[in-house]
Amino acid sequence: MDEKYKILVTGGAGYIGSTLVPELLNLGHHVTVLDNFMYKQNSLAHVCHHKNFNIVKGDIRLKDTMQSLMKDADIIIPLAALVGAPLCKQDPMTATSVNHDAILMMLKLASKEQKIYMPTTNSAYGSGDKNNFCTEESPLNPISQYAEEKVKVEKALMEHPNAVSLRLATVFGMSPRMRTDLLVNDFTYRALHDKYVLIFEGHFKRNYVHVRDIARAFIHLINHHDRMKGQIYNVGLSDANLSKKELCEKIKKFIPDFSYVEAAVGKDPDQRNYIVNNEKIEKTGFKPLFSIEHGIQELLKGYTMIKNNMYGNV
């Protein structure tokens, strides 16, 4: 890839951003990160030496801030969000202002020439019967505020001629700004430290993807913009549409004394249950590299270094 771009990454010090930004810099792009550092993280300390790296502490909801940073950007990757249903439920008004209102403002400020690559969520597929097989054309049935607002934002996003929506599977893997509350990360942590997990509705399936593969998907978009623009793509591991029980089985292979028990009563507040088809992005030449097994092994190394209470989103 010869062309170098000026890229604005909002929320660039977060779980995905702190993995993506170093990759973009290593490819020679100019990267500006806007982040409010709400988790007090220094997850981009290792790229401050890059002359093409610029960092701004600020809020994506402020029009003046966004306008001044957007005017020079060729590509905008809006990662800043209150991520996940529990965090949005804890502070619904802030969630709406960040996840919905600020994104609609950004889309109004963007020129038609600017490229916008936005992560949305395949949790928008919601819940269904055991044959709930989802492609990008499947009806959306969001069951959380987080998913509902991502659906609304995606609709507005697709009116922009140079935009792409990546509907991300549940992410896993180590990152400089770690999240231990994501399902694979959480179950692996509990397996290692508690040796036990109680699961609700263990037959519920969902799709998964490694955080590094998400970074690779954004870079794939940059390299293949003309053929991918104006589209929505599911991004996940096609061989990892797993139930919670199946996930626990995979973890148990690496931690033999790990026990999991399915609760006889009670419901998971997260009622997502679906199988996702990722063929559309695969047909453009993108293939994930990191398996669930790889992720579990990586997490076990990472969890020798960190303790849980600092690294959740709630």
Is the pLDDT at 1 greater than 60? The verdict is no
**Mean pLDDT score, 282-306:** 97
Nearest to 289 by CA among 180, 228, 183, 215: 215
| In a domain? residue 171 | yes
Question: Do 63 and 105 touch, CB atoms closer than 8 A?
Answer: yes
Position 309 scores a pLDDT of: 62
What does pTM read for this prediction?
0.95
| In a domain? residue 204 | yes
The better pLDDT of the pair 48, 314 is held by 48
Please state the domain count of the chain: 1
**Mean pLDDT score, 92-110:** 97
| In a domain? residue 1 | no
| In a domain? residue 80 | yes
104-120 burial: b if 16+ Cβ within 10 Å, else e? ebbbeebeeebbbbbbb
Position 308 scores a pLDDT of: 62
Strand order in the sheet with 205-210: 170-172, 205-210, 241-243
Position 169 scores a pLDDT of: 96
SS3 233: strand
Distances from the Cα of 27 to the Cα of 14, 16, 69, angstroms: 20, 17, 21
Count other Cβ atoms within 10 Å, centred on residue 139. 9
Partnered with residue 164 across adjacent β-strands are 117
d(CA 140, CA 126) in angstroms, rounded, equals 7
**Please, which pLDDT band fits residue 275 given cuts at 50, 70 and 90?**
very high
| In a domain? residue 54 | yes
**Please, which pLDDT band fits residue 85 given cuts at 50, 70 and 90?**
confident
Nearest to 98 by CA among 129, 132, 72, 59: 59
Position 314 scores a pLDDT of: 58
Position 311 scores a pLDDT of: 64
Over residues 113-151, the pLDDT tens digits come to: 999 999 999 988 987 556 788 999 999 988 889 999 999
User: What CATH number did the domain enclosing 98 receive?
Assistant: 3.40.50.720
Position 4 scores a pLDDT of: 96
Range of the domain at 256: 6-310
Position 54 scores a pLDDT of: 98
**Mean pLDDT score, 178-182:** 94
d(CA 165, CA 115) in angstroms, rounded, equals 11
% of the chain residues with pLDDT over 90: 84
| In a domain? residue 152 | yes
Q: Which residue has the tokens 């519920």?
A: 204
Over residues 219-243, the pLDDT tens digits come to: 999 999 999 999 999 999 999 999 9
pLDDT, mean over the chain: 94
Q: 301 φ, ψ to 5°? A: -65, -45
Is the pLDDT at 61 greater than 60? The verdict is yes
- In this structure, of 17-26, 53-62, 213-222, 270-279, the range with the lowest mean pLDDT score is 270-279
Position 86 scores a pLDDT of: 87
